[in-house]
Structure formats: structure tokens, C-alpha cells
A and B are shown apart, each in its own frame.
Chain A
Amino acid sequence: MAHIIDRRLNGKNKSAVNRERFLRRFKSQIKEAVTKAIKGRSITDLESGEKVSIPVKDISEPVFHHGQGGVWDYVHPGNEEFIKGDKINRPQGGGGGGGKASNDGEGEDDFVFELSREEFMSVFFDDLELPNLVKNQLIGLEEWKTVRAGFTSDGTPTNINVVRSLRGALARRVAVSAPTLSQLSEAEEELDTLLESDEDNDIEVREKRRNIHALRERLSHIPFIDPFDLRYNNRVKEMKPTSKAVMFCIMDVSGSMDEAKKDMAKRFFILLYLFLERNYEKIEVVFIRHHTSAVEVNEHDFFHSRESGGTVVSSALNLMKEVVSKRYNPAEWNIYAAQASDGDNWDSDSVNCARVLDDFLLPVSRYFAYIEITEGEPQNLWYEYLKLQPSHPHFAMQRIHSAADIYPVFRELFKRQPNHAAAR
């Protein structure tokens, strides 16, 4: 009788390894595609996968085969009109139209396939070493929830974990009594030998008995449970996401912010967005760009329009203040901001910036990051901002020179602050 087996449940994703091998082999091409995709995508749209196209010649597996030329005989079906000896023109594209011609013919198109969202993200994060990101906590979040996290040797009696404690006690008793037990069995054996011998050895026997008694005594004194054995359920506090957050992206779009700099800023904003997305159910993004004056724009204009002009950074900060006051009540919203600039500001304006931050924006923000994208020396804005740092631990500033700095800088900005970290 035939065996009928339902295989549908096992062996799912069996091809995952081969697929992973395939992606691994074409990593550089895939990375390129992902990088390109990120340029073209909006900050909030990272949900879907991405089409990747690899030239067929890179992906082909070569084998020896015939090229065109020489003499070939082909048999075909469906003859309508020919008779023996007819001469006919070669079909376009050569080769006599047999199986061989198609071998070369299909070589033109690229090999296109789709990355799943997970694959897309993993390539994206691969660049950025993001997996560590989840370990980071934003500072300044005040809502916590407690979650179980294993066991500790210290705690309140209500949290004692009985099973763990007894298991520990048993282990301790076995360990502590082992030497005494072996002494005891030795002594008992010796006593037996003494008793069996015919010699007169009462004193020795008595001595042994006393010894055995002492050992038993010692064993009985090993406590059944010791404070050392106690284990407590450990509970740690974890940040509880509050439901709403808004992220302000503020960018200097003066002439000196070229495409490369904007691209770096964009990557930074994407990271910030992904990070916040993990913590909040709802997240909004506000784009503010500025040169001498600031406007709120959509994402496309934010990254793509080029306007030249001088720079008055405070205009953007004032606009943010205005938007916050109108739409994002700090009591309800978790406010984040990232400001990207090459730092070149109208001289006397930097003082204004510091003042707006100090007076209004920093007190209402959960976190405010300033990234200066520049190759040269820090500019005056940087020095002005530097003064704010001591009094505002959630104001962070970093400098980015090249795309490679984005992640380390992001990490630095968002690293866990020891004094605010969750209790362990």
C-alpha cells in the first residue's frame, strides 16, 4: 500500500539557506540596490521589499556549449509548404532557429527578483549595525512597566521563588555534605574491619564510634535551607511606550548643503524614525527646512528642492516652537527633533538659537539631536550649542564627516545613559 504523508507542516522555509547564500553572494549588488532604494524612498515608507536587478552575466553559471557556426541539422514539426531541396532564408537572429539559438538569446535581460521587507531591512541595517539599536534606550521617558527577567539573589520575601530556592538548597547540600559523607563511609568501613577482627580493640572501636557520631552530627547540622539559597523573581522596569510621538526633521538647505549632505541627513532621519517606530504606536513627522527663513514642507521638498541663500537657523527653531504650540501639546506628545546643518550660520543668530532651545524647545523635548555635517572645523553654532549641554542632558550633538559616521554617531547620540538606565 502506498504511503501518503502530509509534508505541508514541516520543511517550511527549507530554501531559506539557499536563498540566504544567494543574497550573500550578490551582497554588493544588493546593497547598491538598497542604497538606491533608500534615496528614492520616503522616510516613513520602509514597509515593502525592493526589486533588485543583477546583470545576467554576473549571475550565470557557465558551462561549455556550442556557439554559432558549423553545420547543424534540425528537425522541426509543422511543415506546411517545403519540399526536399528547398532553400530558405535564414530567420532573423541567426542560428537556424533551433534550441541552440535560444541559449544565447535569453542572455539579455537582467535577473530581477524581489527582496522581502526583512531582507531589505537586514541589508539596510547591515550597513548600520543596527541590531544593537534595540538595546539602546532613550533617556527621559518616564513611563515604565515591570517585566520578569530571571532571578536574583536579593529581593523582598514576596518575590521568593520557591522552586528555584529549593533547587539551589539541594545543590548546596549535596556539595557541602560530600566530603563529610565520604569520611563517614570510610569510618564505617574501618569500624566494620575492626569489629570483624578478633583482636582486642575496644578502645579503637569506641574511638571510631565517637568519630562516626561526630560526622553524623556534622551532617545533620547542614541547614536544609540557607539564606544563601534564596532566589527571588527578578523584575525589571522597561520603558513603556507612550502612544504618540512627533519627530521634527530640521534641515539647513542653504547652498552649501549639497546632495551628499542631504543624503547623510536623510539616513540619519530614517534611523531616528525606525527607532521611534519601535517605541510608539503613532508617530508623525514634521519637516522643516530653512535658509534665511523657514517653512514646513513635505518630505519631497524637504530633500529635493534647492534654494540658495543665507542662513538664519533660528528661523527654523522658532517655526518648530510655533508648530509645537499649535499642534503638539507636550503633555500628550513625545517630542523629538533632529537638526541637521553644516553649521554655517549668520553670526549673531547662533545666540538666538541657543536661547530658543534653552527657553522652550529643550524643556518640551524628549530628545533633541544636533548633527553637524561638515568636513572642516566646527562653526560658531556648534560652540554656542556646546554651552547648552551641561544643563540639558537630553540635548546631544555630534559631527558627521561621511556616511560611515552616521551609525556610530547615531549610536553615540542614543546610547543608554548610565544614570537613567533601567534598574537591573
Chain B
Amino acid sequence: MKTPISTGSEWTFDLVERYNHAIREIAVDEFKLDVYPIQLEVITAEQMMDAYSSVGMPVNYHHWSFGKHFVATEKSYKRGQMGLAYEIVINSNPCIAYLMEENSMTMQALVTAHAAYGHNSFFKGNYLFRSWTDASAIIDYLVFAKKYISQCEERHGVDAVEQILDSCHALMNYGVDRYKRPQKLSMAKEQARQAEREQYLQLQVNDLWRTIPKRGKDGSGHAAPRFPSEPQENLLYFFEKSAQLLEPWQRELVRIVRKVAQYFYPQRQTQVMNEGWATFWHYTILNRLYDKGLVTDGFMMEFLQSHTNVVYQPPVTAPWYRGINVYALGFGMYQDIRRICEHPTAEDRDWFPDIAGAPWREVLEFAMKNFKDESFISQYLSPKLIRDFRLFAIRDDDQEDKLLVEAIHDESGYREVRSHLAEQYNLGSREPNIQVWSVNMRGDRSLTLRHVMHHRRPLEAASANEVLKHVARLWGFNVRLESVDEDGEVHHLYECKVDSHVLAMA
């Protein structure tokens, strides 16, 4: 029997080091987690709030909205309404995990296991992160972005820069390529190519407009070629390449916001998987520490209390119910997959013939690597877990008086519940589907966006009108947004006319 690493609740650098060492032995040597090198950083509560408000990154450009988030976080933290998230981890190489100085030793160990080994291995392993983000370059890129933006502020004024950033932020969710794989980011490359890009892009944009066919010149009266030739899902990319009135530096700002949005896109698609994975591993690792006699009963009590809070799922009837807890669902699913491998029931063999009884570590690894929330749920959510959570599906149709219970946790409902839950995590259906539809090349150069309605779901009108102003600022000419129903008929039309005032801003 080994003696525990520590007995008190105070942490020291030496102890953090020793816990990390013990955790590493379990995570890497025993369970074969593949991780980026780890950098643990001890920070203050204020720094945690700061990291929190600038989307978790250690470097970022300045923007008022980060200040707003800081102020809001600080307010609720001071009032004690909110415990600070005790962990932030950055998808970078080395992987940076923050330890807050106020944490007890138990919490530092939990955070280390959760973030530095759980999230870290997820970042390194999951296919979305592998193909969409470059962990070794992100910090460099943000350094570049920060420098570039502050130079713009010096040259063009804080207000001018802020306006463009505001507009880009409003469209951030529409600044990602969902299917193409972007080039890797790197500061060296960015800087080297940036000047060249500015000139080239500007030329391209000008060419685009120069090639507008002159009316009746050749007498053929052909319709102008459609532009864009196909609808574009990446609005920011479209503006960066095609908005005629943007200055080169403004194009670069659009690009920066787009790159950052793209970097965070995988995170938004893998919340259940990522948090579940990290939670599964801190739970597994710390229990292992206990089995090895390296931590005390007191340590386990504190850890389990914290863990239980994290994975608590209030029922729909609870006043504090706020939807499904991604930690609970994700943790539950990985635990369940392990169970199916180790102790399969007849039902499991029926539903998961491939994995029932298979080596759990490999199955888990495969599940972590090759899915996003939506496909992960539709692949692995088991009848047992649906029963454990007592999941049920409800249809809310605004043309009906009442809500309809579509399916519950019974034999006939499992598949339906599972597919609805998967759909709930499909970003493509959670967010309105809006694309660049056409540009009036022969006339006023106005831009038309199309919202293709899904299940008759409308846009929220007030915010749509606000966002459209931002679109107009970037585009520089009038913009329209058509909500088109499933029969292809325009259901609702939003418009924003550009007056000289907006133009002056653009």
C-alpha cells in the first residue's frame, strides 16, 4: 500500500507537479491517452475571468464585447451567483490548462485530469479538430491578429475598427466552411502573404465588377451570369472576397474574425463529446489514483461531491431545469459504452453487435475520434441510457393547440428519441440556414440572402433586422433577406437600404 501524495487541502507547486506525474502515469502509460505536451498555468480569479471573457484565449485582440463579458462575469462572481468555471483549457500545442489559485489540491488534481489529459487528448484525437484546427499555430495567429488589429486602430481609429469587428462578430456563425477543409493557420505564413493578399484581393474584386456586361453592347441581351454562381454558406468569406467597397485592411479584419470562428467551430459541434470525454477521464483517473492508494478518503469525498454536481441532470419538471446537461449526457454515454463492452446485456448485443464485448478502450477511442455530437448520439445512445435519463420527445407545432408526446423511453420510442436528440445537436438545424443567394450585378448591386426555412421555423425578426444592418455595412449596398419556405416561396422579406451614412461607415 502506497502512502497518499498529500493529505491537506492546500496545494503547492511541488504537489501539483507530483499529482500531475501520478495522473500522467495513469492517463498516458496505463490508459494510453495520446496528448499534446502540457503546460499548467496557475492564475488568479481575475485572470480566470479575463480568460473567460475573451473566449478563453490567452491572447486576443481588443474588443468592447470582451469587456462586457468581463464586467458581467465579474459581477456575478462577486455576488457569488456563480462559481467560476474552475477550468479553461486551450486547444493549442502545448496544451495550456489553467489552474485557479483558489482551488484546493483536490480541485487542482481534478482540473489536471479533466483538462490537461481529457480535453487535451480529445483535441488531439477528434477528427474535427484534426482537420479544422492547427493547435501549434493558433496562439501565433492570435498574436498576429492582435498586432494587426491594433495597427489598424492606430491608422484608422478605434471606432472604424470596432464597427467592422461588430459586423463580423454578428456573422461569426456564418463565417465557417462546413465542408471544405481550410488551410492551416500560421503567423509566419500569414504575415508573409498578407501584403500580397491585400493587393491581389482588391484587384480581383475590381475585376469582378469590371466584367459586368454592358447592357446591349453586343446586342445579344444575354442575362448576366449569375453571381455567385452557387449559393454561398460562408458569408464572411463571401464579403472578404467580393465586397467591393471594403478597404484592404477591412478585408483582413473580416478574415481574422472568420479564421477565429473557424477555429472554434469544432468546439461548438462537439460539446457533449468533449465535455463527456474529459469528465469520463477525470472520473476514471481519479478513481484509479484512489485504487492505487495515492489519494485519501477526504480527497475522494471532495472530488465526488464536485463530480456529482457536474454531472447532475435535473428533470424537466425542476424549476432550475435548463435543458440537457452536456456533461451529464456525455459522461453517461462514455460510461455506458464502456459498460456495453465490459458487461453487455442481451439488449446491448442486439443494438450494438459490433461493440458488445469488445475491448472498451479501443471502442471508446474510436467513438471519440470519428464523430461529432450529432452522429455520436445517433450512433451510441443506448436504450438503457434513454431509460436512465427518462428521455422523451415532444413536438411543438404552432398550428396545433397542444404539444404532442412523440416518443418516450420504451421499446417503440428508443429510435425516435435518439434521432430527435441527435438532431437537437445538429448545428445545421439549430441555426437558421442562411446563404448568399444573388447579387444584382446589372443594377444597384444589391445583395440577396436566403433563409431556407426548416419545419416552418421563422427568423426572430428584431435581431434579423439588426444583423442585416451589419451585413449592409460589409457589403456596402442594399441588402435583402428572404425567408423561403419549403415550397420555394418567399415567406418573409427583410431589407436594409444603405444610405450615404452607412456607406460612409463602410
A327 at the interface (CB under 8 A from B): no
**Interface segment out of the listed B335-343, B396-404, B498-506:** B396-404
Which of A6, A11, A69 contacts B398, CB < 8 Å? A69
Which of B16, B38, B405 contacts A88, CB < 8 Å? B405
Tally chain A residues at the interface, Cβ within 8 Å. Answer: 65
A424 at the interface (CB under 8 A from B): no
What separation, in Å, do the CA atoms of A401 and B428 have in the docked complex? 62
Closest Cβ of chain B: how far from A1's Cβ, in Å? 8
Q: Which of B62-79 contact A (CB under 8 A)?
A: 62-68, 70-72, 74-75
Give the chain A neighbours of B323 by CB distance below 8 A. Answer: 98-99
In the complex, are the beta carbons of B316 and A8 less than 8 A apart?
A: no
Which of B13, B50, B317, B395 contacts A71, CB < 8 Å? B395
B101 at the interface (CB under 8 A from A): yes
Give the chain A neighbours of B357 by CB distance below 8 A. Answer: none
In the complex, are the beta carbons of A2 and B67 less than 8 A apart?
A: no
In the complex, are the beta carbons of B408 and A84 less than 8 A apart?
A: yes
Closest Cβ of chain A: how far from B149's Cβ, in Å? 12
In the complex, are the beta carbons of B406 and A64 less than 8 A apart?
A: no
In the complex, are the beta carbons of A18 and B64 less than 8 A apart?
A: yes
Q: Name, among A5, A6, A20, A70, the residue most crowded by chain B CB atoms within 10 Å (CB to CB).
A: A70
Give the chain B neighbours of A6 by CB distance below 8 A. Answer: 13, 41-42
Which of A11, A18, A83 contacts B63, CB < 8 Å? A18
Give the chain B neighbours of A74 by CB distance below 8 A. Answer: 393-394, 396, 420, 424
Number of A-B residue pairs at CB separation under 8 A: 259
Q: Name, among A60, A75, A89, the residue most crowded by chain B CB atoms within 10 Å (CB to CB).
A: A75
A86 at the interface (CB under 8 A from B): yes
A145 at the interface (CB under 8 A from B): no
Closest Cβ of chain B: how far from A84's Cβ, in Å? 6
Q: Name, among B173, B431, B457, the residue most crowded by chain A CB atoms within 10 Å (CB to CB).
A: B457
Give the chain A neighbours of B463 by CB distance below 8 A. Answer: 60, 62-65
Which of A18, A21, A78, A86 contacts B405, CB < 8 Å? A86
**Interface segment out of the listed A22-30, A183-191, A305-313:** A22-30
Which of B40, B393, B451 contacts A75, CB < 8 Å? B393
Q: Which of B345-375 contact A (CB under 8 A)?
A: none
Tally chain B residues at the interface, Cβ within 8 Å. Answer: 98
Give the chain B neighbours of A96 by CB distance below 8 A. Answer: 394, 396, 403
What separation, in Å, do the CA atoms of A90 and B75 have in the docked complex? 35
In the complex, are the beta carbons of B47 and A7 less than 8 A apart?
A: yes
**Interface segment out of the listed B84-92, B121-129, B162-170:** B162-170
A84 in contact with B38 given A2-B20, A19-B71, A70-B455 (CB within 8 Å): no
In the complex, are the beta carbons of B75 and A114 less than 8 A apart?
A: yes
B432 at the interface (CB under 8 A from A): yes
Closest residue of A by beta carbon distance from B485 = A70
What separation, in Å, do the CA atoms of A166 and B313 have in the docked complex? 78
Which of B74, B174, B402, B458 contacts A90, CB < 8 Å? B402
Q: Which of A141-190 contact B (CB under 8 A)?
A: none
Closest Cβ of chain A: how far from B54's Cβ, in Å? 7
Give the chain B neighbours of A20 by CB distance below 8 A. Answer: 67
Give the chain A neighbours of B303 by CB distance below 8 A. Answer: none
Give the chain A neighbours of B54 by CB distance below 8 A. Answer: 15, 18
In the complex, are the beta carbons of A82 and B408 less than 8 A apart?
A: yes
Give the chain B neighbours of A99 by CB distance below 8 A. Answer: 323
| Interface 0/1 of A268-300, CB less than 8 Å to B | 000000000000000000000000000000000
In the complex, are the beta carbons of B392 and A82 less than 8 A apart?
A: yes
In the complex, are the beta carbons of A15 and B405 less than 8 A apart?
A: no
Q: Which of A59-102 contact B (CB under 8 A)?
A: 59-80, 82-90, 95-99, 102
Closest residue of B by beta carbon distance from A21 = B64
- A-B pairs with beta carbons under 8 Å apart, 15 shown: A2-B116, A14-B47, A18-B62, A23-B67, A59-B68, A61-B166, A63-B173, A63-B467, A64-B434, A71-B396, A75-B393, A89-B402, A103-B460, A111-B72, A113-B71
Q: Which B residues are within 8 Å of any A CB, using their own CB?
A: 13, 16-17, 20-21, 24, 37-44, 46-47, 49-50, 53-54, 62-68, 70-72, 74-75, 94, 101, 116, 158, 162, 166, 169-174, 313-318, 321-324, 389-398, 402-410, 412-413, 417, 420-421, 423-424, 431-432, 434, 451, 453-461, 463-464, 466-467, 470
- Which A-B residue pairs are the 7 nearest by beta carbons? A78-B315, A22-B67, A96-B396, A70-B457, A18-B67, A67-B460, A62-B466
Q: Which A residues are within 8 Å of any B CB, using their own CB?
A: 1-8, 11-15, 17-25, 59-80, 82-90, 95-99, 102-104, 111-114
